[in-house]
Amino acid sequence: MSMLAWIEDQRKIKLLNTLKKTKTLPEGSQGLWTRCENCGVILYVKHLKENQSICFGCGYHLQMNSQERITHLIDAGTWRPLDEIVSPCDPLQFCDQKKYIDRLKDAQEKTGLQDAIQTGTGMLDGIPVALGVMDFNFMGGSMGSVVGEKITRLIEYATQEGLTLILVCASGGARMQEGILSLMQMAKISAALQVYQSEANLLYISVLTSPTTGGITASFGMLGDLIFAEPKALIGFAGRRVIEQTLQEQLPDDFQTAEYLLHHGLLDLIVPRFFLKQALSETINFYKEAPFKRKGVIPYGIQRKVSFITEEKVRRKWYNVERNSSKNETATNKDDSSSYLEILKSFQNLVDSFDEKKLTKTNEEMQNKEEINETIANMSNREIEWRYSSLTSNNNQKNTFIFEKILCNY
Protein backbone atom coordinates (compact mmCIF):
# COMPACT_ATOMS: atom_id res chain seq x y z
CA MET A 1 0.00 0.00 0.00
CA SER A 2 1.36 3.37 -0.97
CA MET A 3 1.58 6.19 1.53
CA LEU A 4 -1.10 8.18 -0.28
CA ALA A 5 -3.53 5.26 -0.33
CA TRP A 6 -2.99 4.75 3.40
CA ILE A 7 -3.71 8.41 4.13
CA GLU A 8 -6.84 8.23 1.99
CA ASP A 9 -7.99 5.14 3.93
CA GLN A 10 -7.44 6.85 7.23
CA ARG A 11 -9.37 9.87 6.07
CA LYS A 12 -12.32 7.69 5.06
CA ILE A 13 -12.35 5.87 8.40
CA LYS A 14 -12.26 9.15 10.26
CA LEU A 15 -15.08 10.53 8.15
CA LEU A 16 -17.21 7.44 8.80
CA ASN A 17 -16.66 7.71 12.54
CA THR A 18 -17.67 11.35 12.68
CA LEU A 19 -20.74 10.58 10.61
CA LYS A 20 -21.73 7.88 13.10
CA LYS A 21 -21.28 10.29 15.97
CA THR A 22 -23.42 12.99 14.43
CA LYS A 23 -26.04 10.40 13.59
CA THR A 24 -26.39 9.20 17.19
CA LEU A 25 -26.52 12.69 18.67
CA PRO A 26 -30.01 13.92 17.76
CA GLU A 27 -31.68 10.79 19.14
CA GLY A 28 -34.00 11.22 22.09
CA SER A 29 -33.97 14.46 23.98
CA GLN A 30 -30.48 15.47 22.92
CA GLY A 31 -31.63 17.08 19.71
CA LEU A 32 -32.68 20.71 19.67
CA TRP A 33 -35.77 20.30 17.51
CA THR A 34 -38.60 17.83 17.37
CA ARG A 35 -41.81 17.39 15.44
CA CYS A 36 -45.34 17.21 16.84
CA GLU A 37 -46.78 13.72 16.25
CA ASN A 38 -50.23 15.17 15.73
CA CYS A 39 -49.95 18.28 13.56
CA GLY A 40 -46.37 18.01 12.33
CA VAL A 41 -45.30 21.45 13.52
CA ILE A 42 -41.58 21.71 14.25
CA LEU A 43 -40.94 22.55 17.87
CA TYR A 44 -37.92 23.85 19.76
CA VAL A 45 -37.27 21.25 22.44
CA LYS A 46 -36.26 23.69 25.15
CA HIS A 47 -39.47 25.71 24.82
CA LEU A 48 -41.48 22.52 24.50
CA LYS A 49 -40.12 21.22 27.81
CA GLU A 50 -40.97 24.51 29.49
CA ASN A 51 -44.48 24.04 28.19
CA GLN A 52 -44.72 20.55 29.77
CA SER A 53 -44.27 18.93 26.35
CA ILE A 54 -47.55 20.26 25.02
CA CYS A 55 -47.54 21.24 21.34
CA PHE A 56 -47.83 25.00 20.77
CA GLY A 57 -49.64 24.45 17.50
CA CYS A 58 -52.43 22.03 18.40
CA GLY A 59 -52.22 21.41 22.13
CA TYR A 60 -51.31 17.76 21.64
CA HIS A 61 -49.71 16.15 24.68
CA LEU A 62 -46.37 14.72 23.65
CA GLN A 63 -44.63 12.03 25.66
CA MET A 64 -42.78 13.00 28.81
CA ASN A 65 -40.19 10.98 30.65
CA SER A 66 -40.70 9.88 34.24
CA GLN A 67 -38.32 12.44 35.71
CA GLU A 68 -40.11 15.35 34.06
CA ARG A 69 -43.44 14.08 35.35
CA ILE A 70 -42.14 13.76 38.87
CA THR A 71 -40.74 17.29 38.70
CA HIS A 72 -44.11 18.62 37.59
CA LEU A 73 -46.20 16.65 40.07
CA ILE A 74 -44.14 16.64 43.24
CA ASP A 75 -43.17 19.71 45.28
CA ALA A 76 -39.53 20.64 44.81
CA GLY A 77 -37.11 18.84 47.10
CA THR A 78 -39.62 16.40 48.57
CA TRP A 79 -39.21 13.41 46.25
CA ARG A 80 -37.84 10.32 47.97
CA PRO A 81 -37.38 7.39 45.58
CA LEU A 82 -38.02 3.84 46.74
CA ASP A 83 -36.27 0.66 45.61
CA GLU A 84 -34.05 2.50 43.17
CA ILE A 85 -31.63 -0.35 42.78
CA VAL A 86 -33.99 -3.21 42.07
CA SER A 87 -32.80 -4.26 38.63
CA PRO A 88 -34.02 -6.83 36.13
CA CYS A 89 -32.38 -10.14 35.24
CA ASP A 90 -32.95 -12.45 32.31
CA PRO A 91 -34.74 -15.54 33.63
CA LEU A 92 -35.53 -17.03 30.22
CA GLN A 93 -32.21 -16.04 28.60
CA PHE A 94 -34.35 -14.60 25.91
CA CYS A 95 -32.90 -13.71 22.57
CA ASP A 96 -34.63 -12.29 19.51
CA GLN A 97 -32.67 -10.11 17.09
CA LYS A 98 -30.73 -9.01 20.10
CA LYS A 99 -30.17 -10.53 23.53
CA TYR A 100 -32.61 -9.35 26.19
CA ILE A 101 -29.68 -8.61 28.51
CA ASP A 102 -28.19 -6.28 25.88
CA ARG A 103 -31.51 -4.57 25.33
CA LEU A 104 -31.72 -3.96 29.05
CA LYS A 105 -28.22 -2.52 29.16
CA ASP A 106 -28.96 -0.16 26.27
CA ALA A 107 -32.19 1.02 27.85
CA GLN A 108 -30.51 1.53 31.19
CA GLU A 109 -27.78 3.60 29.62
CA LYS A 110 -30.25 5.60 27.57
CA THR A 111 -32.62 6.45 30.42
CA GLY A 112 -30.44 6.21 33.50
CA LEU A 113 -33.10 4.03 35.13
CA GLN A 114 -32.92 0.42 36.26
CA ASP A 115 -36.31 -0.42 34.78
CA ALA A 116 -39.36 1.22 33.25
CA ILE A 117 -40.71 2.79 36.41
CA GLN A 118 -39.80 5.16 39.20
CA THR A 119 -41.55 4.83 42.52
CA GLY A 120 -41.31 6.89 45.67
CA THR A 121 -42.96 9.25 48.04
CA GLY A 122 -43.25 13.00 48.01
CA MET A 123 -45.47 15.97 48.69
CA LEU A 124 -48.13 16.99 46.20
CA ASP A 125 -49.14 20.51 47.16
CA GLY A 126 -48.13 19.65 50.70
CA ILE A 127 -50.01 16.35 50.80
CA PRO A 128 -47.85 13.25 51.25
CA VAL A 129 -48.48 10.74 48.47
CA ALA A 130 -47.00 7.52 47.14
CA LEU A 131 -46.28 7.97 43.45
CA GLY A 132 -45.27 5.57 40.70
CA VAL A 133 -44.42 6.89 37.25
CA MET A 134 -43.80 4.64 34.29
CA ASP A 135 -41.27 5.60 31.66
CA PHE A 136 -42.13 4.84 28.05
CA ASN A 137 -38.55 5.45 26.95
CA PHE A 138 -37.42 2.30 28.73
CA MET A 139 -38.33 -0.53 26.36
CA GLY A 140 -41.75 0.96 25.65
CA GLY A 141 -42.59 1.14 29.34
CA SER A 142 -43.18 -2.59 29.31
CA MET A 143 -43.97 -4.30 32.58
CA GLY A 144 -41.44 -6.92 33.58
CA SER A 145 -40.97 -8.46 36.99
CA VAL A 146 -39.09 -5.42 38.31
CA VAL A 147 -41.85 -3.01 37.36
CA GLY A 148 -44.39 -5.33 38.97
CA GLU A 149 -42.32 -5.76 42.09
CA LYS A 150 -41.69 -2.05 42.50
CA ILE A 151 -45.36 -1.20 42.09
CA THR A 152 -46.35 -3.92 44.57
CA ARG A 153 -43.83 -2.66 47.10
CA LEU A 154 -45.06 0.88 46.62
CA ILE A 155 -48.66 -0.21 47.17
CA GLU A 156 -47.72 -2.18 50.28
CA TYR A 157 -45.75 0.77 51.59
CA ALA A 158 -48.68 3.09 50.94
CA THR A 159 -50.98 0.62 52.70
CA GLN A 160 -48.79 0.48 55.78
CA GLU A 161 -48.36 4.23 55.90
CA GLY A 162 -51.90 5.13 54.92
CA LEU A 163 -50.79 7.19 51.92
CA THR A 164 -52.78 8.13 48.87
CA LEU A 165 -51.50 6.23 45.84
CA ILE A 166 -51.05 7.69 42.38
CA LEU A 167 -49.80 5.64 39.46
CA VAL A 168 -49.00 7.36 36.18
CA CYS A 169 -49.19 4.76 33.44
CA ALA A 170 -47.39 4.86 30.10
CA SER A 171 -46.79 1.44 28.72
CA GLY A 172 -46.99 -0.90 25.80
CA GLY A 173 -48.03 -3.78 28.05
CA ALA A 174 -46.34 -6.77 29.61
CA ARG A 175 -42.70 -7.44 28.71
CA MET A 176 -42.66 -10.40 26.38
CA GLN A 177 -38.98 -11.08 27.03
CA GLU A 178 -39.86 -12.22 30.54
CA GLY A 179 -42.76 -14.38 29.40
CA ILE A 180 -45.14 -15.66 32.04
CA LEU A 181 -43.20 -13.91 34.80
CA SER A 182 -44.28 -10.53 33.54
CA LEU A 183 -47.87 -11.68 33.08
CA MET A 184 -47.98 -12.79 36.70
CA GLN A 185 -47.18 -9.24 37.82
CA MET A 186 -50.72 -8.28 36.83
CA ALA A 187 -52.20 -10.61 39.41
CA LYS A 188 -49.62 -9.65 42.02
CA ILE A 189 -50.32 -5.94 41.70
CA SER A 190 -54.07 -6.48 41.64
CA ALA A 191 -53.84 -8.53 44.84
CA ALA A 192 -51.86 -5.81 46.59
CA LEU A 193 -54.37 -3.24 45.37
CA GLN A 194 -57.23 -5.30 46.76
CA VAL A 195 -55.73 -4.99 50.25
CA TYR A 196 -55.03 -1.31 49.71
CA GLN A 197 -58.46 -0.40 48.39
CA SER A 198 -60.82 -2.81 50.12
CA GLU A 199 -59.15 -3.55 53.45
CA ALA A 200 -57.63 -0.18 54.15
CA ASN A 201 -60.15 1.90 52.21
CA LEU A 202 -57.46 4.15 50.85
CA LEU A 203 -57.60 6.22 47.70
CA TYR A 204 -55.88 5.11 44.51
CA ILE A 205 -55.86 7.38 41.49
CA SER A 206 -54.55 6.07 38.20
CA VAL A 207 -53.46 8.56 35.58
CA LEU A 208 -53.48 7.13 32.08
CA THR A 209 -51.19 8.81 29.59
CA SER A 210 -50.51 8.03 25.98
CA PRO A 211 -50.08 5.13 25.38
CA THR A 212 -51.57 2.85 28.04
CA THR A 213 -52.13 -0.53 26.48
CA GLY A 214 -52.00 -4.28 27.07
CA GLY A 215 -51.32 -5.66 30.53
CA ILE A 216 -51.40 -2.26 32.21
CA THR A 217 -54.95 -1.57 31.08
CA ALA A 218 -55.83 -5.12 32.06
CA SER A 219 -54.59 -4.66 35.61
CA PHE A 220 -53.82 -1.59 37.69
CA GLY A 221 -54.55 0.99 34.99
CA MET A 222 -58.26 0.36 35.16
CA LEU A 223 -58.42 -0.49 38.87
CA GLY A 224 -58.18 3.10 40.09
CA ASP A 225 -60.85 4.41 42.43
CA LEU A 226 -60.62 7.36 40.14
CA ILE A 227 -59.23 7.09 36.64
CA PHE A 228 -57.83 10.23 35.07
CA ALA A 229 -56.49 10.47 31.57
CA GLU A 230 -54.70 13.00 29.44
CA PRO A 231 -56.47 14.44 26.39
CA LYS A 232 -56.30 12.28 23.26
CA ALA A 233 -54.34 9.59 25.08
CA LEU A 234 -54.30 6.19 23.43
CA ILE A 235 -55.79 3.71 25.90
CA GLY A 236 -56.74 0.17 25.06
CA PHE A 237 -56.02 -3.49 25.50
CA ALA A 238 -55.46 -5.05 22.10
CA GLY A 239 -54.29 -2.96 19.18
CA ARG A 240 -56.67 -1.43 16.71
CA ARG A 241 -55.60 -3.60 13.79
CA VAL A 242 -56.01 -6.80 15.79
CA ILE A 243 -59.57 -5.90 16.74
CA GLU A 244 -60.46 -4.84 13.21
CA GLN A 245 -59.15 -8.09 11.79
CA THR A 246 -60.93 -10.19 14.39
CA LEU A 247 -64.28 -8.42 14.10
CA GLN A 248 -63.97 -7.81 10.37
CA GLU A 249 -65.40 -4.39 11.04
CA GLN A 250 -64.33 -0.81 10.57
CA LEU A 251 -63.79 0.92 13.91
CA PRO A 252 -64.58 4.59 14.55
CA ASP A 253 -61.72 7.05 14.12
CA ASP A 254 -61.56 8.07 17.74
CA PHE A 255 -61.65 4.46 18.95
CA GLN A 256 -59.36 3.86 21.98
CA THR A 257 -58.83 7.55 22.64
CA ALA A 258 -59.40 9.00 26.10
CA GLU A 259 -62.41 11.00 24.86
CA TYR A 260 -64.08 7.90 23.41
CA LEU A 261 -63.53 5.96 26.64
CA LEU A 262 -64.85 8.83 28.77
CA HIS A 263 -67.95 8.95 26.64
CA HIS A 264 -68.44 5.21 27.19
CA GLY A 265 -67.95 5.41 30.93
CA LEU A 266 -64.51 3.88 31.36
CA LEU A 267 -62.81 7.02 32.64
CA ASP A 268 -63.74 9.56 35.28
CA LEU A 269 -62.01 12.64 34.05
CA ILE A 270 -59.82 13.97 31.28
CA VAL A 271 -57.34 16.44 32.67
CA PRO A 272 -54.97 18.54 30.58
CA ARG A 273 -51.41 18.29 31.81
CA PHE A 274 -51.34 21.89 33.03
CA PHE A 275 -54.09 21.20 35.56
CA LEU A 276 -53.13 17.67 36.55
CA LYS A 277 -51.36 18.58 39.78
CA GLN A 278 -54.18 20.87 40.84
CA ALA A 279 -56.81 18.29 39.97
CA LEU A 280 -54.99 15.64 41.96
CA SER A 281 -54.50 17.79 45.03
CA GLU A 282 -58.12 18.95 45.00
CA THR A 283 -59.35 15.39 44.67
CA ILE A 284 -57.15 14.15 47.48
CA ASN A 285 -58.29 17.03 49.66
CA PHE A 286 -61.85 16.08 48.91
CA TYR A 287 -61.19 12.52 50.07
CA LYS A 288 -59.19 13.60 53.09
CA GLU A 289 -62.09 13.21 55.48
CA ALA A 290 -63.25 9.88 54.08
CA PRO A 291 -64.88 8.22 57.10
CA PHE A 292 -63.77 4.60 56.68
CA LYS A 293 -60.20 5.32 55.76
CA ARG A 294 -57.67 3.61 57.99
CA LYS A 295 -54.09 2.50 58.00
CA GLY A 296 -54.01 -0.84 56.32
CA VAL A 297 -52.27 -3.95 57.52
CA ILE A 298 -50.77 -6.33 55.03
CA PRO A 299 -52.28 -9.74 55.76
CA TYR A 300 -50.23 -12.06 57.91
CA GLY A 301 -47.93 -14.30 55.89
CA ILE A 302 -47.19 -11.66 53.26
CA GLN A 303 -45.96 -9.14 55.75
CA ARG A 304 -42.25 -8.54 55.53
CA LYS A 305 -40.17 -8.89 58.64
CA VAL A 306 -38.13 -5.76 58.07
CA SER A 307 -40.40 -2.82 57.51
CA PHE A 308 -40.03 -0.98 54.22
CA ILE A 309 -39.23 2.21 56.01
CA THR A 310 -36.33 0.77 57.95
CA GLU A 311 -35.01 -0.98 54.90
CA GLU A 312 -35.16 2.19 52.86
CA LYS A 313 -33.58 4.29 55.60
CA VAL A 314 -30.65 1.93 55.81
CA ARG A 315 -30.23 2.02 52.03
CA ARG A 316 -30.26 5.78 51.91
CA LYS A 317 -27.77 6.15 54.70
CA TRP A 318 -25.55 3.66 52.98
CA TYR A 319 -25.69 5.63 49.72
CA ASN A 320 -24.77 8.81 51.48
CA VAL A 321 -21.74 7.08 52.91
CA GLU A 322 -20.83 5.73 49.50
CA ARG A 323 -21.26 9.11 47.89
CA ASN A 324 -19.25 10.89 50.52
CA SER A 325 -16.47 8.36 50.43
CA SER A 326 -16.25 8.49 46.65
CA LYS A 327 -16.16 12.29 46.73
CA ASN A 328 -13.30 12.53 49.15
CA GLU A 329 -11.49 9.25 49.05
CA THR A 330 -8.47 10.74 50.71
CA ALA A 331 -10.21 12.29 53.63
CA THR A 332 -12.15 9.65 55.49
CA ASN A 333 -13.03 12.05 58.19
CA LYS A 334 -15.33 12.40 61.13
CA ASP A 335 -18.41 13.02 59.02
CA ASP A 336 -17.86 9.72 57.40
CA SER A 337 -17.57 7.81 60.59
CA SER A 338 -20.64 9.49 62.01
CA SER A 339 -22.68 8.31 59.04
CA TYR A 340 -21.20 4.87 59.49
CA LEU A 341 -22.41 5.07 63.02
CA GLU A 342 -25.81 6.05 61.83
CA ILE A 343 -25.92 2.98 59.65
CA LEU A 344 -24.77 0.92 62.53
CA LYS A 345 -27.58 2.29 64.63
CA SER A 346 -30.15 1.64 61.98
CA PHE A 347 -28.91 -1.89 61.62
CA GLN A 348 -28.75 -2.28 65.34
CA ASN A 349 -32.38 -1.35 65.35
CA LEU A 350 -32.97 -3.96 62.72
CA VAL A 351 -31.23 -6.56 64.81
CA ASP A 352 -32.96 -5.44 67.95
CA SER A 353 -36.29 -5.96 66.39
CA PHE A 354 -35.70 -9.70 66.18
CA ASP A 355 -32.66 -10.85 68.06
CA GLU A 356 -34.18 -13.88 69.67
CA LYS A 357 -31.76 -16.13 67.86
CA LYS A 358 -28.01 -15.73 67.62
CA LEU A 359 -26.41 -17.03 64.48
CA THR A 360 -22.83 -17.81 62.94
CA LYS A 361 -19.51 -16.39 62.19
CA THR A 362 -17.82 -15.33 58.99
CA ASN A 363 -16.38 -11.90 58.71
CA GLU A 364 -16.86 -10.08 55.50
CA GLU A 365 -16.60 -6.48 54.57
CA MET A 366 -19.57 -4.54 53.34
CA GLN A 367 -18.55 -3.18 50.01
CA ASN A 368 -21.30 -2.74 47.54
CA LYS A 369 -24.99 -2.43 46.88
CA GLU A 370 -25.55 -6.10 46.25
CA GLU A 371 -24.14 -6.94 49.60
CA ILE A 372 -26.36 -4.52 51.39
CA ASN A 373 -29.36 -5.95 49.61
CA GLU A 374 -28.26 -9.44 50.45
CA THR A 375 -27.80 -8.49 54.04
CA ILE A 376 -31.19 -6.96 54.29
CA ALA A 377 -32.67 -10.06 52.71
CA ASN A 378 -30.77 -12.32 55.07
CA MET A 379 -31.64 -10.08 57.94
CA SER A 380 -35.24 -10.75 57.12
CA ASN A 381 -34.52 -14.44 57.38
CA ARG A 382 -32.86 -13.96 60.76
CA GLU A 383 -29.51 -15.23 59.66
CA ILE A 384 -27.22 -12.30 60.07
CA GLU A 385 -26.30 -9.92 62.79
CA TRP A 386 -24.50 -6.64 62.34
CA ARG A 387 -21.51 -5.32 64.11
CA TYR A 388 -19.56 -2.12 63.73
CA SER A 389 -15.84 -2.20 64.22
CA SER A 390 -13.11 0.29 63.61
CA LEU A 391 -10.40 -1.69 61.89
CA THR A 392 -7.09 0.05 61.80
CA SER A 393 -4.78 -1.62 59.32
CA ASN A 394 -1.22 -0.42 58.77
CA ASN A 395 -1.81 1.01 55.33
CA ASN A 396 -4.79 3.20 55.86
CA GLN A 397 -6.91 4.09 58.80
CA LYS A 398 -10.45 3.50 57.85
CA ASN A 399 -13.53 2.52 59.68
CA THR A 400 -15.03 -0.59 58.28
CA PHE A 401 -18.32 -2.24 58.64
CA ILE A 402 -18.33 -5.89 59.42
CA PHE A 403 -21.15 -8.28 59.56
CA GLU A 404 -21.08 -11.48 61.46
CA LYS A 405 -22.97 -14.58 60.72
CA ILE A 406 -23.49 -16.32 64.00
CA LEU A 407 -24.49 -19.99 63.88
CA CYS A 408 -27.72 -20.86 65.40
CA ASN A 409 -26.96 -22.43 68.79
CA TYR A 410 -30.25 -24.06 69.26
* Smallest distance, Zn ion to C-beta of residue 28, A: 19
Which residue lies nearer to Zn ion by CB, 39 or 92?
39
* Smallest separation, CB 41 to Zn ion (Å): 5
As measured in angstroms, the least distance from the Cβ of 43 to Zn ion is: 8
Written as one letter, the residue type at 170 is: A
Q: Please give the single-letter amino acid code of residue 199.
A: E
Contact yes or no for 168/134 (Cβ under 8 A): yes
d(CA 101, CA 107): 10
Shortest Å distance, C-beta 270 to Zn ion:
18
Q: Is the backbone of residue 100 left (phi > 0), alpha (psi -120 to 50) or beta?
A: alpha
Binding site for Zn ion (CB under 5 A): 36, 38-39, 41, 55, 57-58, 60
Give buried/exposed letters for 243-279 (b at 16+ CB in 10 A, else e): eeeeeeeeeeeeebbbebbbeeeebbebbebeebbeb
Residue 273's H or E segment, with its range, is: helix 273-287
Find all residues with CB under 8 Å of 18, minimum gap 6, and list them.
none
Q: How far is the CB of 59 from Zn ion (least distance, A)?
A: 7
- Nearer residue to Zn ion within complex by CB, 34 or 137: 34
What secondary structure, in 3-state letters, does 63-89 show?
CCCHHHHHHHHCCCCCCEEECCCCCCC
CB nearer to Zn ion: give 38 or 190. 38
Segments in 115-256 forming alpha helices (H): 145-161, 180-194, 215-218, 240-247
Give the separation between CA 67 and CA 72, rounded to whole angstroms: 9
φ, ψ (nearest 5 deg) of residue 108: -65, -40
| Nearer of residues 26 and 40 to Zn ion, judged by Cβ | 40
Q: In angstroms, rounded to a whole number, what is the distance separating the alpha carbons of residues 346 and 381?
A: 17
Find the shortest distance in angstroms from Cβ 260 to Zn ion.
20
Residue 37 beta carbon to Zn ion: minimum distance, rounded to whole angstroms: 8
Nearer to Zn ion, 121 or 210 (CB): 210
Q: Which is nearer to Zn ion, 41 or 302 (CB)?
A: 41
Q: Are residues 388 and 342 in contact, defined by beta-carbon separation less than 8 angstroms?
A: no
Nearer to Zn ion, 58 or 331 (CB): 58
Which is closer to Zn ion, CB of 57 or CB of 299?
57
Name the minimum Å distance from CB 257 to Zn ion: 15
